[in-house]
Amino acid sequence: MPRWLAYLIVLALLSAAGVWAFASLDMNWNWGVVWDYRAAFWQGWWMTVLLSLASLLTSSLIGVTAAMMLRSSMPLVQAAARVYVELIRGTPLLVQLLIGWYVVAAALRMGTDQRYLVGVLVLSLFSGAYMAEIFRGGLDAIPRAQIDSARAIGLTPWQTLGLVVLPQAVRIVLPSVAGQLVSLIKDSSLLSVISIAEFTFNARNVNSATYSTLESYLPLAVGYLALTLPLSALSRWLERRFRYEAA
């Protein structure tokens, strides 16, 4: 069976189940009201894209730093990174956001206009902990012989990192990083708890204004899928592409 046909059959079955479920609910759809709020959806969607991109960049930097600290031979440095990674990965993002905004930001006397900055930072710290493990795996995958070869031709430690280790590690981790971006996009919906007007926050507002719950949240699902499906495809493509490069 061709792959497209398989996908078509699965999607058709899924749609049939959806149609049947909604039909049996006897819903009175009220799409007109929601359509009036399309600008709110659109703005929220873009805000989610921007927040995710900003967090991806920041969390990559945090992740690379933490990964190198995890591999450090200095016990204190390694312990600091390990505690960071385990604390962040072991607690809900929701709690981190609330502490970040209502405790840390408040203690630093940050104004309400800085909630976006705080949101991106907390989300980056959260995602950075996962990135750290991804990058650590990537760095560990580089054989010791590569470092030896780099030293043998006289490269400095920084040149070794920049010309030999990172270019290879990046190829190894790219598929996982693309996958992490998918999580990041969905996790950014929690920023709504500190009143950041991203996609989920705006959809929730539309719901409270119109009392049309499904009409408000179904576009939300579609909006996130529009971001995450291409990324998943990209992740799989990267995985296939770099698999053949290993020596």
Partner 1 sequence: MNLVIHDLVQRFDDPRSGRSTTVLDGLSLATGEVQSLVLVGPSGGGKSTLLRILAGLDVPVTGSVTFEGVALPRDEELLRGYRRGVGTVFQAYNLFPHLTAMDNLLLPLVHVHGLTDTEARRRVAEPLERFGLTAHAHKRPAELSGGQKQRIAILRALVVQPRRLFLDEPTSALDPEMTGEVLDMIDDLKRSGTEFVLVTHEMGFARRVADEIAFIADGRVAAHAPAAEFLDRCRDPRVTSFLARTLHA
Which residues of the chain form contacts with partner 1 (CB under 8 A)?
A: 143, 145-146, 148-156, 159, 163-164, 167-168, 171, 244-247
CA distance 150 to 154: 7
- Could you tell me which residues come within 8 angstroms of residue 155 by beta carbon, excluding any fewer than 6 positions away? 163, 164
Q: Where are the alpha helices (DSSP H) in 26-104?
A: 31-36, 38-70, 75-90, 93-98
- Please report how the helices 38-70 and 213-243 are oriented relative to each other, as an axis angle in degrees rounded to 10: 40
Question: Would you say 98 or 161 has its CB closer to partner 1?
Answer: 161
Least Å from the CB of residue 201 to partner 1: 42
Question: Would you say 89 or 243 has its CB closer to partner 1?
Answer: 243
Least Å from the CB of residue 153 to partner 1: 4
Least Å from the CB of residue 14 to partner 1: 40
CA distance 221 to 23: 20
Question: Would you say 21 or 163 has its CB closer to partner 1?
Answer: 163
Question: Would you say 4 or 244 has its CB closer to partner 1?
Answer: 244
Least Å from the CB of residue 149 to partner 1: 5
Q: Which of 185, 230, 222, 224 is nearest to 34 (CA)?
A: 222
